[in-house]
Chain A
Amino acid sequence: MAGLADLTLAEARDGLRNKDFSALELAEAEITAVEAARGLNAFITETPERALAQAQRSDARLAKGEGLALDGLPLAIKDLFCTEGTLTTAASHILDGFTPRYESTVTAKLWAAGAVMLGKTNLDEFAMGSSSTQSHYGPVENPWRKAGEDRPLVPGGSSGGSAAAVAARAGLGATGTDTGGSIRQPASFCGVVGMKPTYGRCSRFGIVAFASSLDQAGPFARTVRDCAILLGAMAGYDPRDSTSADVEVPDFEAALSGDVRGLKVGIPDEYRVDGMGGEIEKLWRQGIDWLEGAGAETVEISLPHTRYALPCYYILAPAEASANLARYDGVRYGLRVPGDSIDEMYENTRAEGFGQEVKRRVLIGTYVLSAGYYDAYYLKAQRVRTLISRDFTEAFEKADVILTPTTPSAAFAVGEKMDDPIAMYLNDVFTVPASLAGLPGISLPAGLSEAGLPLGLQLIGRAFDEETVLRTAGVLEDAAAFDARPGRGVGE
């Protein structure tokens, strides 16, 4: 049935409930879309049989009027979530052949809500990157092209496969993880909506760890409403994750009232950074006007430690990663490259199993934790993190939500910035501060660059106040009326 893959998740949900089409038909349409988008290399593993089997079970429930919240809705899963019986790679050679015997809490919740798995999406190895080019399974391509050019662009990262899939209509939605911007930045690059909830909102159990104090799962979709629906199914306290928060999960969809009258929207002066394109500045201005037009009030706020956020992040995240990745030693699972001694086996396995960016971060992380450097790097970065958190706490005394651009530029070409890790890291300049503070953030497409590429705006909220973020995002979404579509991989 043509056009089903083009529906929003909410439309598909309603269509299934009205029996306009079956879950099986929807799954078949999505499987076709996934196949059509293969040129993007968005998926590492496609699971069509599983999708069809799940869809049939959904149809059985729907026929009895016992449809679950996400019954029959096909989703793409970032290949950082462990899925029982399905290869899980983290896009790393070192996890060769690793098929978990357990399911991550977030995906288990999605399946329990009736969702259907289309496959596992490509990413930067171990979620380390902002381009989704650092994958053992090859780079992901952004379905968007600059006007009049056919040069492949990156989808952003690390959840680039999920963002590209959703943009290319290969999945009604997708899961991602965000450590320093890995949901919001690719959402911005691919012209879709991506949300990182509050740290602790979603369980990290069963997600391959990158930086434990920052990693957080969240949804991608093509609308704010779809993200709200997905987040509702993904979120919730999990006793198997000590950092998961024992708080109620509100009805996020119900938060989309469309009313932001009287809402105080903070505009941080410090986010006017060098190197930010004029069109980004213009878009930001536009966002302010839209919200003011809807009755919100904008207030100037200050987040004075913003400029320390990136260096702070690039100490703390690698430090945690250096320990989190120590378990990939060739002893119990994944790749093993033999050696004459146990040390040689470790060295051979890790030298061959990890890509360049992962090695870089493991080395940085090991360095900043080592004797003699710990105080100057790790400890100092922890203190800076506290100051960054405090900036937000103080800002939220004046504002209810903060509006910023998501990224300082639109998507760049595959191969660009590859020899300059610092330039690559700058992609995360607007997303990292909220990650360090553990706050919820969303990116939604708000316009096109002069070259015809999507640009995103970011909203940051108070801890566990995803509702205000979603409500404001809904208003911006309506005002922006973003309806541009990518040219590639959309079943053309």
Chain B
Amino acid sequence: MTLIEGRTGEWECVIGLEIHAQVISKAKLFSGAPTDFGAEPNTQVSFVDAAMPGMLPVINGFCVEQAVRTGLGLEAEINLTSVFDRKNYFYPDLPQGYQISQFPLPIVGKGSITLDLEGGETRTIGITRLHLEQDAGKSLHDREPGATYIDLNRSGVALMEIVSEPDMRSAEEAGAYIRKLRSILRYLGTCDGNMEEGSLRADVNVSVRRPGEDLGTRCEIKNVNSVRFVQQAIEYEAARQIDIIEDGGVIAQETRLFDPSRGETRPMRTKEESHDYRYFPDPDLLPLELDAEWVADIKASLPELPEAKKARFMADLDLDAYDAGVLVAERETAEYFEAVAEGRDAKACANWVMGDLFAALNKAGLGINEAPVSAASLGALIDLIDDGTISRRIAKEVFETMWRTGSKDAAAIVAEKGLEQISDSGAIEAEIDKVIAANPGQVAAFKGGNEKVIGWFVGQIMKATEGKANPRTVNEILRRKLAD
């Protein structure tokens, strides 16, 4: 258990997250308008999105399917009957004067997510519910003094609000939760998880308590848009609450904002939070009724999710929990790895992917889909090691060349540069003889019992052969010769 040491003893931090995930869909939740990111303001707005008089919402079936797919991916109950409600409040970027959301009867009920923590540990976090709702537009306050501009491109875009149980106990767990949820959403293809573009936003509920005691009063930190900020906000907020209580104060339940430039949370103006939303069922929409068979069909079409993939990598490919966890975290990484490992030694392939490939990607700041070395090319390179054509050391060089030049053909690079390994024992023997003859002192040292000298001999021979000598052959012959 992660505890925080205060001035008066230990504290436990309790965290629940509400994640707003934008549904991947060409059209909005209740209109046919497009959803592309970054379009010119007010170019993706239908009469429905602008709440013109007499316009009516019509549910987009694909968004419903995406929500069901997500619910199934979270191993959650799918509610065959759910209801859309109106959440009433005035804001210029909310054209209807209400948001269509789901309140008492969401489309998805209880589910769970398993987190991979450090040291191969896992932890299960409960999902309370998932519901569908409309996004609002955007208010631009900084274009002209005294005026607010409204961009309705986002107005009506489908969001899934995914609510967790207050099951997390540290900023690290909250970070792991968001990363895992994002990974599942990407596997499912239901949300791109892009926090910079606002496709994934978090409301963070934080409270503190003495270990074993009842839940404390929570504060909600709204609209945090990166994993790092979520973690910073939690740490700041927990410390703030502990300070207040230790000073004899009480926590006021309130909504707060995280200011990334100062790394602190501060209360929203009370006016922004004192809403009575007056939820009631939207009379423009009938209850959403799903067919159990349709849900079963979606379930059957789900891709293998990270948990299952990890288990398979461990069982079938003999990877350890850590490697398997790293390789399945992103769908694209897992796919790349599987393509490399197909018909090859999985452990060796995992080392290549997690070692040289990850290092190169990191250095270049690229995603795995942008890697200049494809899975097939890397696989062919590994084959050259396996069949003894090149050594692992030479292979690293070839990999770097492929990365730099974009060449796809490892064998061609090896041939062109003459990098084939020398396994011909006659040629190697001749080199060994030369080195032994030239260094009687080192030979004597070996014979005197200094085993380490063998490494020095190998180094000399590799140098003489420009690294192309097969190290195993060198070792064998060298030991035999020195023993003579």
Contacts and interface: CB of A to CB of B under 8 A. Distances in A.
Interface in B11-50: 47, 50
Nearest to B280: A369
Interface string B251-266: 0000000000000000
B54 A207 contact: yes
B118 to A, nearest CB: 44
Nearest to B90: A346
A424 interface: no
A378 B58 contact: no
A215 to B, nearest CB: 9
Interface stretch (A146-154, A326-334, A439-447): A326-334
Given A211-B283, A213-B283, A371-B276, A333 B52 contact: yes
Given A212-B283, A242-B285, A331-B150, A370 B53 contact: no
Interface string A150-180: 0000000000000000000000000000000
A240 B97 contact: no
Interface in A89-131: 90, 95, 98, 100-102, 104
B59 interface: yes
B436 to A, nearest CB: 89
Contact of A242 (B47, B52, B58, B92): B58
Interface in B35-92: 47, 50-59, 86, 88, 90, 92
Contacts of B282: 212
A205 interface: yes
Contacts of A205: 54-56
B211 to A, nearest CB: 35
A477 B90 CA distance: 50
Interface in B262-291: 276, 278-280, 282-286
A188 interface: no
A459 interface: no
B92 to A, nearest CB: 5
Contacts of A342: 92, 148
B95 interface: yes
A326 B92 contact: no
A400 interface: no
Given A242-B59, A331-B92, A331-B150, A209 B97 contact: no
Interface string A330-362: 011100000000110010000000000000000
Given A102-B54, A242-B58, A370-B278, 8 more contacts: A81-B54, A95-B53, A207-B54, A209-B53, A243-B283, A327-B53, A327-B95, A329-B97
A374 interface: yes
Contacts of A82: 53-54
A240 B278 contact: no
Given A102-B52, A329-B90, A342-B92, A369 B278 contact: yes
B98 A326 contact: yes
A104 B53 CA distance: 10
B231 to A, nearest CB: 34
A370 B284 CA distance: 20
A79 to B, nearest CB: 11
A208 interface: yes
A319 B279 CA distance: 11
Contacts of B56: 204-205, 240-242
Contact of A326 (B47, B52, B59, B96): B96
Contacts of A346: 90
Contacts of A319: 280
11 contacts: A81-B54, A82-B54, A204-B54, A207-B54, A241-B56, A241-B58, A326-B96, A327-B51, A342-B148, A366-B278, A369-B88
A207 B53 CA distance: 7
A418 B242 CA distance: 61
B51 A332 contact: yes
Given A240-B56, A242-B286, A327-B95, A378 B51 contact: no
A435 interface: no
Contacts, number: 99
A266 B89 CA distance: 45
Interface string B143-168: 00000101000000000000000000
A326 B90 contact: yes
B224 to A, nearest CB: 25
B96 A327 contact: yes
Contacts of B284: 209, 212, 242-243
A88 B53 contact: yes
B53 A323 contact: no
B90 to A, nearest CB: 6
A206 interface: yes
A39 interface: no
Nearest to A89: B53
Nearest to A206: B54
B64 to A, nearest CB: 13
A60 to B, nearest CB: 31
A332 B54 contact: no
B278 A374 contact: yes
Given A211-B283, A323-B280, A240 B53 contact: no
A98 B53 contact: yes
A88 B471 CA distance: 88
Contacts of A90: 53
Given A102-B52, A331-B150, A326 B97 contact: yes
Nearest to A238: B56
B228 to A, nearest CB: 33
A251 B205 CA distance: 60
Given A326-B90, A326-B96, A100 B53 contact: yes
A239 interface: yes
Nearest to A333: B52
A44 to B, nearest CB: 15
A466 interface: no
Nearest to A214: B283
B280 A378 contact: yes
A289 B371 CA distance: 89
Contacts of B148: 342
A102 B280 CA distance: 29
A308 B283 CA distance: 21
A319 B281 CA distance: 11
Nearest to A104: B54
Contacts of A333: 52-53
